[in-house]
Amino acid sequence: MSAQEIEQISLKFNDLQTKLQESLSNRQTLETQHQENLIVLKEFDLLKDESAEPKVYKLTGSVLLPQDFSEAEMNVEKRLEFIKAE
């Protein structure tokens, strides 16, 4: 094997390592988001049990805006579906 071939193999190996790191990082991010959304759904279940008209707020920029409970719950469920699809 020539030095040039070894250099090419080494470059390919480094490229694959970089892609693997990116994939692992993306997977970890998705897993974290999945867990966070599951926690939010559990909190929503607790809110349903505690009051007839649960109030939830959405952070938009630096402002908390009221959001319809059923809409918020549906958004979280859709996020979970999206994350599972990834």
What pLDDT score was predicted for residue 50?
Answer: 76
Residue 84: CB partners within 8 Å, gap ≥ 6? 34
Phi, psi of 70 (to 5 degrees): -65, -35
Interatomic CA distance for residues 79 and 32, integer angstroms: 12
What pLDDT score was predicted for residue 77?
Answer: 96
pTM for this structure? 0.76
Interatomic CA distance for residues 74 and 54, integer angstroms: 14
What pLDDT score was predicted for residue 65?
Answer: 96
Instruction: Determine which of 16-20, 21-25, 56-60 has the lowest per-residue pLDDT on average.
Output: 56-60
What pLDDT score was predicted for residue 35?
Answer: 98
> In order of start, what are the domains of the chain with their CATH numbers?
3-85 (1.10.287)
Residue pLDDT, tens place only, 24-72 = 999 999 999 999 999 999 999 988 877 677 889 999 999 999 999 999 9
Residue 51: CB partners within 8 Å, gap ≥ 6? none
Q: Residue 21 — pLDDT band, cuts 50, 70, 90?
A: very high
